[in-house]
Amino acid sequence: MTVKELLDNEAFSIVVEGDLSREIGKIYCCDLLSIVMSKAPADCAWVTVMGNVNAAAVATLADMSCIVLAEGAVADEVMLAKAKDEQINVLWTDLPVFEAALLIKGGENA
């Protein structure tokens, strides 16, 4: 599934648009940045509540397809600026992390 296809699901909305044609190969859920840096696979959808500039930096380092801010988490202005500069797709959902990941994996429509 691509990021654009994920956005067809009403549970997700776009916060920062990067390359919407990026394929989502895996899903990764974690909020400890040092672990995410060392274990998140490239082309993943990272489901997290981390909305700060460090999350954008980690997404760039790991070459992620997108960051999905779950649980209604909000990105701060510095993160939004960094995501725009790096063309990182940032999505938003009010779903809990686990439910958002399940929805991405299943590709079901809300």
Tens digit of each residue's pLDDT (9 = 90 or more) over 3-28: 999 999 999 999 999 999 999 999 99
Q: What pLDDT sits at residue 106?
A: 87
H or E element in which residue 59 lies: helix 53-62
**For position 108, what pLDDT does the model report?**
52
Question: Computed over its alpha carbons, how large is the radius of gyration of the chain?
Answer: 12
Q: Give 77-96 pLDDT, tens digit per residue.
A: 999 999 999 999 999 999 99
Using pLDDT thresholds of 50, 70 and 90, give the confidence band for residue 110: very low
The yes-or-no verdict on residue 66 having pLDDT over 90 is yes
- Cβ pair 94, 72 in contact under 8 A: yes
Predicted pLDDT of residue 109? 47
- 68-106 as b/e, with b when 16 or more CB fall inside 10 Å? bbbeebebeeebbebbeeeebbbbbbebebeebbebbee
What value does the mean pLDDT take over residues 61-88?
Answer: 98
For 27, residues 6+ apart whose C-beta sits below 8 A from its C-beta are: 44, 45, 47, 101, 104, 105
